[in-house]
Structure 1
Amino acid sequence: MNTLESSNQLINHLDAPARKLILKHSDELLLSTGTVLGQPGDANEYVYFPMNCVIALMLQQNEEKGMEICLVGREGMLGVEAILGVNESPYLILVQNEGSVLRIATEQLMKIIARHPSVEQHLHLYAGVLMQQLAQSSLCSHYHAVQARLARLILMFRDRLHSNSMQLTHGLLADMLGVRRVGVTKAAGALQKRRILRYARGHIEITNGGALEAISCVCYATDKATYDTNLIE
């Protein structure tokens, strides 16, 4: 990809020379929902910058069960642990919504970082934000009710897709929250009854974002504040 602009906000916050090099050495890929970008233990050969899709970092209990610990959209990147010198990914990396990413070889990105130290500084800032969000997600899964966690998750999708409409099944949401599907169905039904969202055949539309934010646990506001404070100029 050879241009000076990208839909990825992390890339766009870099200075022009570094941004140009990253885009020059990146390939644009269209990914479908359900695409697995990485398994636990896989080598970090590539770094991905989402442009208009949402990708989950998940921890797997077994081959069938997993739990979302972080969502990454156009605000971030996948493979940040490679920048920190970790050669293997600990996560299942799963595309949740179809869209495009920029892919660059980790080796090539490290060469760019060597020439432009400001890139490393900015990506380290993002790594710090991501670590705080991972810790917040762990806290959330232990202490907060399903409905509040569901509201937080839907809001996270909204922010990363920049849309109040999204394709999310109850089964997918249950897997990401690490709960039974019936729990998600009950929580989503209560939100729909209060006209906070509409749900039909895997399609969710937020109809009252303010009310949904009020219902969500404090983790949503904490995550958003962490990102805004550290990465928004």
Structure 2
Amino acid sequence: MTTSAAPQSPTIPELNRLIVRLPPDERTAFEGCLETIPLKVKDLLFEPDQPHDYVYFPHNGVISLVTVLRDGDLIEAMTVGKEGFAGLAIFHGANSSACRGICQVSGYVSRITVQDFRRCMDLAPEMKRLLHRYAQYVFETVSQSAACNRLHVIEQRCARWLLMTHDRVGRDDFDLTQEFLAEMLAVRRPGVTVAIGILVSRGLIGHGRGTIRIIDRAGLEQASCECYNTVKKREAILLQ
């Protein structure tokens, strides 16, 4: 397991946005079932086709849902941060999903057992409404990512991924190795090395041993493809 710096405790601006938006009665009942824990990079949350024990609501940590092929290759299907939750399969009545869930960026998440989650859903109409809208956001994001992976160059995709992660963690510095980023983008590591080098040379990011620092956010948005802004607009419509 990769060693990373201890995550900071969540503060009010970093609390999961789905939980924050609940009416007081639903939030009180829901938070009574939550356990907040720290996660480190590559911590395993669930495996494909295996029953889930928990549903996860990130605060300042980020969860990656990845598709695992028979030869062991991985590709990221979806990134989950404080805007959402990991457990759509449970919400839709299934007991497992086709994805592996791993920690992408260290931080805090709250988790709730599957049994408590389903019990709370029976008594939480606003949470149900929010999660249905989040499910639509996931569908649209995955669709946009499929187009992005097919049509846009690695440098643009790398910039988009860094922007999305920056949005979710709420800080300029976060854990990231080139090997892990290559896995998430489903490209060879030399391609990621070149893309990171270009972004560093343009003064958009800093890159240390296993860490990334966002230096020029506006410049990074210009380096990204149209997909970042497309997804952000839909997020504002569906989740704000």
TM-score (norm 1): 0.93
Q: Please state whether the residue corresponding to 2:206 is helix, strand or coil.
A: strand
Paired position in structure 2 for 1:48: 56
Aligned residue pair count: 229
CA distance in 2, matches of 1:201, 1:220: 26
Match of 1:216 among 188, 203, 224: 224
2:139 aligns with 131
Q: Please report how far the alpha carbon of residue 63 of structure 1 lies from its aligned counterpart in structure 2 after TM superposition.
A: 5.6
Q: Report the equivalent of 1:174.
A: 182
Quote the residue 2:239 is aligned against: 231
Instruction: Name 1:36's counterpart in structure 2.
Output: 44
**In the TM superposition, what is the alpha-carbon distance from 1:62 to its structure 2 partner?**
3.5
- Aligned 8 A contact 2:33 2:116 in 1: yes
* TM-aligned CA distance change 1:63 to 1:94, over 3 Å: farther
**Which of 75, 80, 89 is the matching residue for 2:88?**
80
The question of 1:183 aligning with 2:162 is answered no
Letter in 2 for 1:141: N
Q: CA RMSD in A?
A: 1.7
Contact 1:6 1:12 in 2 (8 A): no
Write out per-residue CA displacement over residues 162-181 of structure 1, whole angstroms, 9 at most, x where no aligned residue.
11212211101100000000
Whether the 8 Å CA contact 1:67–1:178 is kept in 2: the answer is: yes
Q: TM-score, normalised by structure 2?
A: 0.91
5+ residue gaps, structure 2, are 1-11
Task: Give the counterpart letter for 1:58 in structure 2.
Answer: V
Determine if contact 1:133/1:223 at 8 Å carries over to the other structure.
Answer: yes
Question: Which ranges of structure 1 fall in alignment gaps of 5 or more residues?
Answer: none
Distance change in 2, residues 1:24/1:6 (3 Å): farther
Q: Which runs of 4+ in 1 moved over 6 A?
A: none
Is the alpha carbon distance of 1:228 and 1:91 closer, same or farther for their aligned partners in structure 2, counting shifts above 3 Å? Answer: same
